[in-house]
Amino acid sequence: MTCLRLTDFHPAATSSAMLADGTKEGRSGQCARRARAMMMGVAATMMTAGCISVNAPDKPIVIELNINIKQEVIYRLAEDASNTIESNPDIF
Partner 1 sequence: MKTTLHTTRFSRIGIAVGAIALTMATLAGPALARDPAYEAARSAGQVGEKMDGYLGIVGGGSADLRRIVDDINIKRKAVYAQKAQQQHATVEEYAFTSGCLLISQTSQGEKYQAPDGSWKTRGAGAPERDSRCP
Query: Which residues contact partner 1 (rule: CB under 8 A)?
Result: 58-60, 62-63, 65-66, 69-71, 73-78, 80-82, 84-85, 88-92
CB 87, min distance to partner 1, A: 8
Report d(CA 51, CA 57) in Å as an integer.
10
For residues 14 and 84, which CB has a smaller minimum distance to partner 1 in the complex?
84
Greatest Cα-to-Cα distance within the chain, rounded to the nearest angstrom: 81
Torsion over CA: 10, 13, 15, 18 (sign):
positive
CB 76, min distance to partner 1, A: 7
